[in-house]
A and B are shown apart, each in its own frame.
Chain A
C-alpha cells in the first residue's frame, strides 16, 4: 500500500477539530500547572513540617514516574472513588498536576533567589507574611521563571498527545479515528505531526516575544 495524501482534505475537518481540542487542553492544563506550581512552591517552602514532608514525597513520585502511568491512576482512580469525570477533565487534571510539580521546582528556586530584603522591607511596612509573599515576593519570582516555564508549556503541548490513551478526542485520537476509517496511518499521523509542529512553532514565537518584553522591562 503506497502513500496517497490526496485523501487528506476529505477528513481535514475532523483533524482540525482535534487540533482545536489539543489547543484547549494545552491552555487549560498550562493555566492549572502555572497556578498549581505557585501553590506547590509555597507549600514546599513555607508549610509546616507535617504538611511539607508528605508533600515532598508526592512531588518525588510525580517526578519519578511516567506521565502516562499517572494519567491511568488519575483517570481510573477518580472513577474508583466515585468521581466520574469526563476523560478530558481527567486529562487536564493529570497534565496540569504533572507540570505543576515541574513548575514548582522552578518557582521554588526563584522564590529563594528573591532578595531577603524584599520580604523584610514588606514586613517592616506592615504587610503580613502571607501578603508579603503574595504581593511582593511571588510576583518577582514568577517574572524570573517565565522563560523556563515556557519550555515546560511547550513540553506540555507534546505530552498532551498522551491523553488520547485515556480516550480524549484531541488531535492524536482524532487522527486515530480517521485512520480507523481510511486505513491510512502514515498520511494522517504525518498530518497530526504537522499540526503539532505548527502549534509548537507558534508557542516558541510567543515565548520569544514574552522573553524580549521581560528583558526590556528589566
Chain B
C-alpha cells in the first residue's frame, strides 16, 4: 500500500468528487422532473399519453444507460444536438433515471386505495382536487424510500460519464491507475469518496422518510 502516493493525489480525487456530486444533483433534478412527467403520462386518461409514457419507460429501461449516453453525445451532432460531455452526461443520465423514477412514482400513486379518490369525489372535490389534495400527499410519503434507492443507483451511474471523458471520480481513478499502476490505492481513494457520498445521501433519505411519516 503506497500511502505517500495516495496523499499526493488525493486533492485531485477530492476535486473530482465535487464534479460527481454536482452531476448527481443535476441528474437527480432532471430525473425527478422526467419521472413526474412520465408517471403523469402513464396515469393519464388519454391513451396516446399512456402509450408514450409506457414507451419511454420500456425503451430507456430496456437498453444500457451507456449506449444512451453514446447516442446522445456521439450521435447527437448528426441530428443537430451539440452538447459538451458534462451536459450530455446530465441529460442522458437524467432521462435514464427518469424512466426508473416514473415507475417508482407511479407505483406509489396506484398503491393508494381507490376508495380515497371515491370518497374525495363524493365529498364534492373535483378530480383535480382529489388528485392534488388527497392522493398525492399520501403517495408522496410512500415514494421517499424507493426514490432513495433510485438516487443511490443514480449516484453510482454517474460513473458512466467517465466513458465520455467527464473528469469525475471514476475517470480520475482510471487516469491515475493508468499513470501510476496502483489500481488498489486509486480504487480505495475513489471508493471511499463514493461511499461517503452514498452514506450521506442515504442518511438524508432516511431522515426525510421519518419526517414525512405520520405517527
A residues at B contact (CB < 8 Å): 1-3, 60-61, 64-70, 72-73, 76-77, 80, 158-162, 164-165, 172, 175-176, 179, 184-187, 189-190, 192-193, 196-197, 200-201
Contacts and interface: CB of A to CB of B under 8 A. Distances in A.
Contact of A68 (B70, B160, B199): B160
> Considering residues A69, A187, A192, A196, which has the most beta carbons from chain B within 10 angstroms of its beta carbon?
A69
By Cβ-Cβ distance, the 3 closest A-B pairs, closest first, are A186-B75, A66-B159, A185-B74
Given A68-B160, A68-B162, A73-B187, A186 B67 contact: no
Given A67-B159, A161-B64, A72 B183 contact: yes
20 contacts: A1-B77, A61-B195, A66-B157, A66-B158, A66-B194, A68-B163, A69-B191, A72-B170, A73-B183, A77-B187, A80-B183, A165-B162, A172-B66, A176-B70, A184-B78, A185-B78, A189-B71, A197-B59, A197-B63, A201-B62
A69 B78 contact: no
A81 to B, nearest CB: 9
Contacts of A159: 64
B198 interface: yes
Interface of B: 59, 62-68, 70-71, 74-79, 156-160, 162-163, 169-170, 173-174, 177, 181-184, 187, 190-191, 194-195, 198-199
Contact of B67 (A80, A165, A187, A189): A189
Contacts of B59: 197
A181 to B, nearest CB: 14
Nearest to B177: A76
B84 to A, nearest CB: 16
A160 B158 CA distance: 16
Nearest to B178: A76
B195 A64 contact: yes
B99 to A, nearest CB: 12
User: How would you classify the secondary structure of chain B's contact residues: helix, strand, loop or mixed?
Assistant: helix
Contacts of B177: 72, 76
Nearest to A60: B195
Contacts of A176: 70
B4 to A, nearest CB: 18
Contacts of B187: 65, 69-70, 72-73, 77
B63 A158 contact: yes
B198 A73 contact: no
B156 A66 contact: yes
B170 A193 contact: no
B62 A161 contact: no
B181 A80 contact: yes
A69 B75 contact: no
A66 B181 contact: no
Contact of A185 (B75, B170, B183): B75
